[in-house]
Amino acid sequence: MRKKFNDINISAVECSVEETKLFYQKIARKVQQIRKKRGLSQLELSYLIGFKSTSLIAGAEAGYSNIRFSLEHLYKIAKVLQVEVKEFFE
């Protein structure tokens, strides 16, 4: 769908459900890779970001479609793992 905005033709970006799922999985794999490199278990990371169980970390790393890291989660995880948030997207 094309719309005109300030004399510029723009198209809406469309992403399939599969593309979105792969995007979240890529980020979760990167979190998992860095977490393991730092020697932290899912439970330890969960506690350090304020959760009492591994449901978020384990679910996101396993690729469950209804469990995803939010920006706030990624910010906290980055602080714990001592990395920049952008590393999860590389």
* pLDDT digit string, tens, across residues 51-86: 999 999 999 999 887 899 999 999 999 999 999 999
Q: Is residue 51 part of a domain?
A: yes
- 86, 35, 32: which is closest to 60 by C-alpha? 32
Whether 5 maps to a domain, the answer reads no
Rounded CA separation 14/70 (Å): 21
Beta-bridge partner residues of 44? none
Q: Which domain holds residue 33?
A: 16-89
81 inside domain: yes
CATH of the domain at 20: 1.10.260.40
pLDDT range class, residue 10, cuts 50, 70, 90:
low
Under a CB-based contact definition with an 8 Å cutoff, are residues 48 and 39 in contact?
no
Q: How many domains does the chain have?
A: 1
